[in-house]
A and B are shown apart, each in its own frame.
Chain A
Amino acid sequence: MITLEALTKDFGSTRAVNELSVDITAGKVTGFLGPNGAGKSTTMRMILGLDSPTAGKSLVNGVPYAKLRYPLHTVGAHISGTAGHPGHTPRTFLKALAQSNRIPVRRAEQALAEVGLQSVATKRIGGFSLGMRQRLGIAAALLGDPQILILDEPMNGLDAEAILWIRQLMRTRADAGGTIFVSSHLMSEVQQVADHLILIGRGELITEAPTQELIQEFTQQLITVRTPRASALAGLLLQQGAKVNNAGEGHLEVIGMPLERIGALAFAGGIELHELSIIHGSLENAYKQLTHDTVDYSAELTGGVKTK
């Protein structure tokens, strides 16, 4: 169980995380989603006691992480780009970690086997690919057989097979009662495995809910329209208060307006339509819809049509 209480972090005058309060409970995979720069890594670093919050607090099983004497037995974590020194071998790296937390050193070999890195146990980490470093980071997280796993963008750099493997790993451990907290900026990476989703944007909580609930709530009214006169139709729909995403050449996605009304408006405006249909929404779309206003660096097209 991870508890965040009004967790806040300022970097100079920028507020990276703003009064984030949420419980991450045991027995499920909790996805932590937000666009790049939303404050996901900062939040995880605060949970791990790497960065100290400006205000509020985070607790791991009711205790601040920095008070844990041998934390690897309780929490396993992998923050991208931090797995070991390039000059070390995986074996040295894991052995040192094991020693620091009084974990039997043979666990290092087991963890290497679990992530499939035995064959490179004596090679230096500096020569590893991103995917291998991710696997090593996950091995480090598993070393103390912890109840809580915190993984920051663990699927970055992994191939399809490895992504499947890590999904299974998270599923298995959650089913066994573990608390799995996994961040991603891509909905598609986590929607299949996460039981619960926490969405943040610009450091603030947008929503949190069970994954199924979010899908039902947010994906019913996405309508896709294909027309050779996309920008004209987009202008018309925007005037009438709909939200319009430009999804590609002659392809619009409309939110907040019923199908019939779009058809009527197009007919009245003399705009030819090639497709007008309700998309059986994916969570990806709900995510886009929810975070769109919070993306700091989104590109805008002239004429009011927003690109994704």
Chain B
Amino acid sequence: MIEYLSSLPSAVAQGIIWGVMAIGLFITFKILDFADLTVDGSITTGAAVCAMLIVNGCPVAVAMLAAFAAGMLAGLVTGLFHTFMGIPPILSGILTQLILWSVNLKIMGKANQALPARNYFLLVSQLNRTRSILVLAAVVIVLIAILYWFFGTEYGASIRATGCNLHMSRAQGINTAFTKIIALMLSNGIVALAGALLGQYLGMADINMGRGAIVIGLAAIIIGEALFARIARNFAMKLLAVVGGGIIYFFVYQTIVFLGLDTDLLKMLSAVVVAIFLAIPYWKKKYFTFAKTPQASDNLPFASAENPDGEVREEDGDHA
């Protein structure tokens, strides 16, 4: 039991790191409505860039900035695949992910790079969990503050509009190809930053560390949404809920480890849980159409007797 309790701080630290990654994913998955598989590669890129620079004598702050920039480049590639070359979102991400596999090997020169905290000054490390958690909490607060500001600006609003309605965005003069690229770059920059933190915390960068990252990120988003939906109404709280989701994911993970269940099965379990949660909105629509939420029912000067909801009449358009 003591062993279990002593593993919890580590669960919190790793949960926050993956929460940061999930915040990056939130930008593409939730705001842009773009399932971006680049993240499986860009998280490793972040760790690899950060580890190599620190091992070669770079200060940790510079290494992390470089990791962020490398992630943004990865996002740029995916963005160009999608907007300039017309490749569907999922495939664009997969292609960049594959490119990054080679790039990551080239960055490290091998499949694994050790980054021992005893030899270098690191921001976070397993050896000092309390300090790590405090540092990570600060990172999360600063990150959420910056994103809250950015998505409230004129430009941030145009990115949100792009994810919501392409027709409307173009009709309002928004260059939707450009906003998509910016969002993908920002997202992957944050994911790579999470990778840099993860590499420091684990004391190594490994070519396989990003495998299935998107599923863990989605799990964090979904858990956060499910558990904190009532309190997480504004944008900053939603991002905080995502980090909460990441922490809970790793609590569950540690519990499974403690109970002696086969951890090899964890990725499968995560995937199944994510799949079910992704299916819920679809099932709701398909099987529970009668339990419709009272959409647009209050305060309706435009509603009429024939059409109490002021709903759209079905009519085929002039498609010429």
A and B held together in a complex: no
Give residues in B with beta carbon < 8 Å to A: none
